[in-house]
């Protein structure tokens, strides 16, 4: 079997999170997929995947091979387009993940504009607040607050941001306004769940000290948009990115509290910063559609927030 077919097979296994699903996509039997993967690992003398009955994950060698496969396959597709049409067309899929709030308010309208310019690019927009293993997810770009600690990733800042505590005027009229972080123990707090972790330890920094407060939330959600809506409904106090709620604050639907403190979910040295970033794999070769979209995204955010 030729090396390019093996690369296509390996990318399909990673994308579909399993050998059987890759076989279904490519019209191959499970036994054939298993045999070809084993032959591939034997050829290079390295293990590419850690496999159990329910899960697969890339080894270090597998991650390096997978990234190279993606680059080569994309390069071949663009070359084929160039040979067939005589021009370097912008086409193919573009898979993007973003938090729900930022995805609906910013990314979706920007993506609609981009699609008008490049109708042969087929976008997939996945809205969730969980952190992804970008190498294994099949995504081209992830929009997230903060950075992911991985040397194989490139992070481009889309917008400066910070965390704010906010609640509806109705809630504050009923329950009062907290004056210190410790006052939050008397309030209804709304907390995120991220990758099964309850983000209920909130950090506050002022000129004098660093306060660590473990709140007792009245409600949890893994969806930032739900947290924002609960705050708008008067259900409690939320710790949100300013980008998510700045229009609500401008329209006085939400009010910020404890403004003299820098706030975050962790104790990082730059607690005030929760910048919005576009994160993607570091590749020697980037598909033209991805390069164009990243530049378009940065340009549009600069215009929207100027």
Segment 268-287 shows an average pLDDT of: 71
**Residue of 250, 278, 246, 269 lying closest to 161 (CA atoms):** 246
H helix or E strand, kind and range, residue 257? strand 255-257
> Is 226 in contact with 127 (CB distance < 8 Å)?
no
Most confident listed range (56-70, 94-108, 136-150): 94-108
- In this prediction, residue 269 carries a pLDDT of 45
**pTM metric for this prediction:** 0.69
Higher-pLDDT residue of 246, 72: 246
DSSP state of 179: S
- Position 158 pLDDT exceeds 60: yes
Q: How far apart are CA 243 and CA 145, in angstroms?
A: 10
Q: How far apart are CA 280 and CA 139, in angstroms?
A: 8
Strands 153-159 and 210-214: unpaired
**pLDDT-derived band at 149, boundaries 50, 70, 90:** low
pLDDT in tens, 202-243: 999 887 888 899 999 999 999 999 999 999 999 999 999 999
Q: How far apart are CA 90 and CA 225, in angstroms?
A: 33
**pLDDT-derived band at 154, boundaries 50, 70, 90:** confident
**pLDDT-derived band at 283, boundaries 50, 70, 90:** low
Angle, to 10 degrees, between the axis of helix 30-44 and the axis of helix 3-16? Answer: 120
- In this prediction, residue 164 carries a pLDDT of 94
Query: Phi and psi dihedrals of 195, rounded to 5?
Result: 50, 45
**pLDDT-derived band at 301, boundaries 50, 70, 90:** very high
Share of the chain residues as helix, strand and coil, in percent rounded to the nearest 5: 45, 25, 30
- In this prediction, residue 305 carries a pLDDT of 76
Q: How far apart are CA 16 and CA 134, in angstroms?
A: 14
- Position 272 pLDDT exceeds 50: no
- Position 275 pLDDT exceeds 50: yes
**Domains of the chain, CATH where assigned:** 3-84 (1.10.10.10), 90-160+275-305 (3.40.190.10), 163-257 (3.40.190.10)
């Amino acid at each position: 079997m030729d090396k390019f077919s093996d690369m296509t097979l390996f990318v399909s296994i990673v994308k579909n999170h399993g050998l059987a699903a890759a076989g279904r996509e490519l019209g191959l039997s499970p036994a054939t997929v298993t045999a070809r993967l084993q032959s591939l690992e034997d050829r290079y003398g390295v293990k590419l995947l850690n496999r159990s009955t329910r899960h697969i994950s890339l080894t270090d060698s597998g991650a390096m091979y997978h990234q190279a496969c993606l680059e080569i396959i994309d390069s071949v597709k663009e070359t084929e387009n160039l040979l067939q049409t005589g021009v370097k067309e912008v086409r193919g899929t573009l898979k993007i993940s973003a938090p729900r709030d930022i995805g609906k308010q910013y990314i979706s309208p920007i993506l609609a504009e981009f699609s008008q310019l490049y109708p042969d690019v087929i976008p997939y927009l996945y809205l969730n607040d969980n952190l992804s293993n970008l190498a294994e997810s099949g995504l081209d770009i992830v929009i997230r607050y903060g950075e992911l600690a991985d040397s194989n990733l490139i992070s481009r800042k889309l917008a400066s941001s910070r965390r704010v505590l906010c609640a509806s005027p109705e809630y504050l009229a009923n329950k009062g306004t907290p004056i210190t972080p410790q006052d939050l123990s008397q309030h209804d707090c709304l907390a995120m769940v991220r990758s099964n972790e309850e983000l209920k330890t909130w950090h506050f920094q002022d000129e004098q000290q660093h306060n660590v407060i473990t709140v007792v939330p009245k409600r949890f959600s893994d969806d930032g948009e739900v947290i924002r809506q609960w705050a708008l409904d008067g259900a409690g106090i939320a710790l949100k990115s300013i980008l998510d709620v700045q229009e609500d604050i401008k329209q006085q639907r939400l009010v910020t509290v404890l403004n003299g403190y820098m706030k975050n979910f962790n104790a990082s040295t730059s607690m005030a910063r929760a910048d919005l970033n576009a994160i993607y794999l570091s590749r020697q070769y980037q598909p033209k559609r991805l390069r164009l979209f990243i530049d378009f995204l940065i340009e549009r955010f600069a215009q929207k927030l100027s």
